Amino acid sequence: MSELTELLRDPLYTYPQRLIALAKYAENSESGIELSEEAQAFADRDIIFDMNEGASPYRPRYVVVNFDKFMKQGSKFLMLDPPNDIWEAVSNLMAIYHHIPSVVGVPVYIGHLDRLLEPYITDENEARKAIHMLLIHVDRTISDSFCHSDIGPHDTRAGRIILELSAEMQRPVPNMSLIYNKNTPDDFARLAISTGMITSKPSFVNDDMYAKDWDEYAIVSCYNALPLGGGGLTLGRLNLKNLAEASNGPQDLMDNMLPRAVAAQCEQMDKRDTYIIEDSRFFQNSFLSEEGLIEQERFVGMFGLVGLAECVNNVLALNKQNDRFGHGERANAFGEEILEAIHRMITAYKPKYGRFCLHGQVGISTDIGVTPNVRVPVGEEPPMPQHLAVTARMQKYFNGGVGELFPFDNTAKRNPQAVLDIIKGAFSQNMRYISYYSNDADVIRVTGYMVKRSDIESYDGGKRVLGNSTVLGSGATKGLRVYERKVRSTENGTKSAGM
Amino acid sequence: MVRKAPVCRIIPFSFVDGPGNRAAIFFQGCGFRCLYCHNPETISLCNNCGACVQGCPVGALIMEAGKVQWNPGLCCGCDLCIQECPNYSSPRIKMMDAMEIWNECEAVSPYIEGITVSGGECTQHHELLAELFSLAHSAGKTAFVDTNGQTRFIDMPDLTEAMDMAMLDVKAIDDNEHKRLTGSSNETVLENMSYLAKIGKLYEIRTVVAYGLDCAHTVDEASKIIALYPRVRYKLIRFRNKGVRGAMSNDESPSDKMMNELKLLAESNGVRLVEII
């Protein structure tokens, strides 16, 4: 059977999923991007990777529409006036969502929802109905957990309604981040945490860190930080585990292999970014660009990486748990040295268009034995205080987004302030982004995006499911050992009979 | 001379020992012998009988000059030693001064709201606690005391002054029941409840709910007293037999129905914050 026939028949595809697969098939039938021999060699050894974005990219990977501007001006092309009430606001958003390109075919950013909707709230019950409708629409039509919404930092009626509805609905879409800073009141943060213990969202964003990197930014897709009204052209991924295996000790890695691999990854990204702009002429053919909702100058390239833990452990030949990445100081210091070097190289690289930012890639469904971004491998997590400290230390380099997640046991549900204390502490140590969930929740975070456990069970049982990410989650929960993450229980404290 | 106290362990993050995330310090030694104690190894100080030394599977315990020595580097944490101990004690106790204890808490200081001292019975070391709390306070952290109420707080002004709040066990309101359960009278406990509530330093009281005890009576009376102070919480702790030795070691946990009825009782007496755990 030909590949095309297989795509046409595959019983696990819904119609939109099939359409995306067919478009990818067509895109890959021709390629206009040629790498140098050196870069191609790194690609062939799976050290650098174009994330299967397609051989002839025709749109940026992530488009971060300036919805704030859209609410003010409406859209000529879509024949939408600026909204006058909550219903028109929601309706306009639902209309534009279906015209936003991305690598997954649906928007990876649907706006800073509380900021967008708060001005239109007059009656709270009516607003709740309208926002409920919007969230249902997003879940049932976008159906992709890479679709991300932001809220915060301020406590608003819209923000509270969104949190309450999220806890009630327990759906993986949209993904959600709370932009957190000193203006976020504790009781709003605690409401967010209680919501997160039920439905694994929102994650917390350390605004103090990102505000230094970007003028205006949004958190999109898993946890990518990108300029508002711009986005990410492509994402390249450096697999540090594979690089370590191809290197001959620490010196060869630092002086030879790493600089060459980074250069190869930069070349690949540069060429692909140029292709989108010059060959596919994306910005000339988009009303979003014509109407100023996105600007080419606000797009960047995302330099992603995975497998820092495996790289450090392999190159330094560390076998004893106390010496390994996340535990031993020599290992952690070497990890930091690698990140510093990469950060320096990509900051110095001048691509033809835009600039490159550093992104801690979250893993893909076929990864086995390579740990996402700079995390400590599942099964090797140190005690929580050390885990937080080492995570903060590694995360600080990632202006393009990075994330770590911590499952908690039931005691955290009764004490959301305790989780907030941990988040505040981690942010004071320069951690950028933290997700958490309760180990008994149905909606869980795979590595950056979310899935419903019950949906994965259906899919694995041979049933079609609505969420595109469920398909990825099915592979990733196994390959990345998601269910085996160390659950943070705080030991019984009081001396009375067992708690 | 620097004052030291026996510490059985320090938990860097605890979500169940007061508000927010806290480091919890457990001291060795307790004046009560509760039938339902779930960590009975914290009751006595080690008398160096050596019963645990033989049982250690990794050689982390040795007898040296008549004293049991514990080597934390070798210890695998299997807890066999505390199960072997006929004396309700543990060989893994460290004598620590306030600064040593604080140094361990300070290592996690960005992530915690404060510290809680527990046990055993921590107030046996009230002078050291006062020193420890002043270190915590100078770092901007709160200091809570988890106590069985065996000693009058009014007689420990150093500690009472230094602590932010206390969490007090009210195990039984009937004195005979309290004696049967703990080996001691509840007179001081009840006096402490009223005194701490009055001076605004009672964070919560707790009662362990188990079959065979007149918990309805205890909850009824205790809740009437604390209801006068609207910020005081009542925590109802469901008995679980994990770790329990002796007469109650095979008893069942009370039903949801029983727990909920007691919660309703406390609420109907006017307590605003009642929690079942």
Of A383, A422, A494, which is closest to B16 when you measure between CB atoms? A494
Q: Do B11 and A491 touch (CB under 8 A)?
A: yes
For residue A329, is pLDDT > 60? yes
Size of interface A-B (CB pairs under 8 A): 122
Tokens of B185: 């009278």
Instruction: Give pLDDT, residue B83.
Output: 86
| Overall average pLDDT of the A105-112 stretch | 95
Distance of alpha carbon A415 from alpha carbon A100, whole angstroms: 40
Q: Where in chain A is the domain with CATH 3.20.70.20?
A: 33-53+231-439
Domain total of chain B: 2
Selected residues 201-260 of chain B with any CB under 8 Å from a CB in chain A: 206, 208, 210, 237-244
For residue A473, is pLDDT > 70? no
Are residues B67 and B162 both part of a single domain? Answer: no
pTM exceeding 0.80? yes
Q: Do A497 and B237 touch (CB under 8 A)?
A: yes
Are residues B33 and B147 both part of a single domain? Answer: yes
Q: Searching chain B, which residue's CA lies closest to the CA of residue A408?
A: B15
Are residues B56 and B123 both part of a single domain? Answer: no
Are residues B38 and B56 both part of a single domain? Answer: no
Euclidean distance between the first and the last CA atom of chain B, given in angstroms as a whole number: 42
Are residues B21 and B155 both part of a single domain? Answer: yes
The conformational region for residue A33 under phi > 0 = left, psi -120 to 50 = alpha, else beta, is beta
Distance of alpha carbon A373 from alpha carbon A360, whole angstroms: 4
- The 10s digit of each residue's pLDDT in A207-263 is 999 999 999 999 999 999 999 999 999 999 999 999 999 999 999 999 999 999 999
Tell me, what CATH number does B112's domain have? 3.20.20.70
For residue A24, is pLDDT > 60? yes
Are residues B108 and B216 both part of a single domain? Answer: yes
Q: How confident is the model at residue B253 (pLDDT cuts 50, 70, 90)?
A: very high
A33-53+231-439: CATH topology: Anaerobic Ribonucleotide-triphosphate Reductase Large Chain (3.20.70)
- The 10s digit of each residue's pLDDT in A186-195 is 999 999 999 9
Measured between beta carbons, the chain A residues lying within 8 angstroms of B17 are 493-494
Q: With residue A335 as reference, give the H or E element that holds it.
A: helix A329-348
Q: How confident is the model at residue B38 (pLDDT cuts 50, 70, 90)?
A: confident
What are the CA-CA distances from residue A191 to residues A17, A195, B186 (Å)? 35, 6, 40
Are residues B62 and B128 both part of a single domain? Answer: no
With 0-12 / 13-18 / 19 or more C-beta atoms within 10 angstroms meaning exposed / middle / buried, residue A186 is middle
Q: Do A421 and B208 touch (CB under 8 A)?
A: no
Distance of alpha carbon A132 from alpha carbon A145, whole angstroms: 18
For residue A385, is pLDDT > 70? yes
Of B14, B15, B210, which is closest to A497 when you measure between CB atoms? B210
Distance of alpha carbon B15 from alpha carbon A413, whole angstroms: 10
Measured between beta carbons, the chain A residues lying within 8 angstroms of B205 are none
Q: Please indicate if any CB of chain A lies within 8 Å of the CB of B36.
A: yes
- The 10s digit of each residue's pLDDT in A161-185 is 999 999 999 998 999 999 999 999 9
| DSSP code string of chain B | ---EEEEEEEEEEESSSSSSSEEEEEES--S---TT-S-GGGSS------HHHHH-TTS-EEEETTEEEE-TTT-----HHHHH-TTS--S--EEEEHHHHHHHHHTTGGG-SEEEEEES-GGGGHHHHHHHHHHHHHTT-EEEEEE---S-GGG-HHHHHH-SEEEEE---SSHHHHHHHHSS-SHHHHHHHHHHHHTT-EEEEEEEE-TTS-HHHHHHHHHHHHTTSTT-EEEEEEP--TT--GGGTTPPPPPHHHHHHHHHHHHHTT-S-EEE-
| Residue A298 and residue A229 in contact, taking contact as beta carbons nearer than 8 Å | yes
What are the CA-CA distances from residue A99 to residues A1, A48, A93, A338 (Å)? 34, 31, 10, 40
Are residues B35 and B162 both part of a single domain? Answer: yes
Q: How confident is the model at residue A492 (pLDDT cuts 50, 70, 90)?
A: very low
Are residues B38 and B102 both part of a single domain? Answer: yes
For residue A464, is pLDDT > 90? no
| Overall average pLDDT of the B251-264 stretch | 97
For residue A498, is pLDDT > 80? no
- The 10s digit of each residue's pLDDT in A372-383 is 999 999 999 999
Are residues B64 and B36 both part of a single domain? Answer: no
For residue B195, is pLDDT > 90? yes
What are the CA-CA distances from residue A400 to residues A65, A151, A219, A397 (Å)? 17, 19, 9, 9
Q: With residue A95 as reference, give the H or E element that holds it.
A: helix A86-97
Tell me, what CATH number does B73's domain have? 3.30.70.20
- The 10s digit of each residue's pLDDT in A42-87 is 999 999 999 999 999 999 999 999 999 999 999 999 999 999 999 9
Range of the structural domain that residue B111 is part of = 4-42+93-276
CA nearest A218: which of A62, A104, A450, A101?
A62
* Distance of residue B45 Cα from the nearest chain A Cα, in angstroms: 16
- The 10s digit of each residue's pLDDT in B42-67 is 999 999 999 999 889 999 999 999 99
Chain A interface mutation, best of B11, B14, B21, highest count of A Cβ atoms under 10 Å: B21
| Overall average pLDDT of the A317-321 stretch | 96
Q: Please indicate if any CB of chain B lies within 8 Å of the CB of A429.
A: yes
Instruction: Give pLDDT, residue A499.
Output: 27
Are residues B97 and B226 both part of a single domain? Answer: yes
Tokens of A473: 């989650």
Instruction: Give pLDDT, residue A145.
Output: 81
- The 10s digit of each residue's pLDDT in A435-451 is 998 887 787 777 677 77
- The 10s digit of each residue's pLDDT in B113-156 is 999 999 899 999 999 999 999 999 999 999 999 999 999 999 99
Among B33, B66, B84, the domain boundary falls at B84
> Is the peptide bond preceding residue B12 cis, with omega within 30 degrees of 0?
no
Q: Please indicate if any CB of chain B lies within 8 Å of the CB of A418.
A: yes
For residue A471, is pLDDT > 90? no
Of B19, B34, B243, which is closest to A498 when you measure between CB atoms? B243
- One-letter identity of residue B138: S
Instruction: Give pLDDT, residue A481.
Output: 67
Give the rounded percent of residues in chain B with a pLDDT score beyond 70. 100
Look over chain A and give the mean of its residue pLDDT values, rounded to a whole number: 92
Q: For residue A305, list its beta bridge partners.
A: A238, A360
| Overall average pLDDT of the B78-101 stretch | 93
Euclidean distance between the first and the last CA atom of chain A, given in angstroms as a whole number: 60
Residues 6+ apart with CB under 8 A from B260: B276
Instruction: Give pLDDT, residue A66.
Output: 98
| Residue B237 and residue A499 in contact, taking contact as beta carbons nearer than 8 Å | yes
Instruction: Give pLDDT, residue A496.
Output: 33
- The 10s digit of each residue's pLDDT in B145-173 is 999 999 999 999 999 999 999 999 999 99
Q: How confident is the model at residue B21 (pLDDT cuts 50, 70, 90)?
A: very high
CB atoms within 10 A of CB A386: 17
Instruction: Give pLDDT, residue B107.
Output: 94
Give the rounded percent of residues in chain A with a pLDDT score beyond 70. 94
Instruction: Give pLDDT, residue A111.
Output: 98
- One-letter identity of residue A213: D
Residues 6+ apart with CB under 8 A from A256: A247
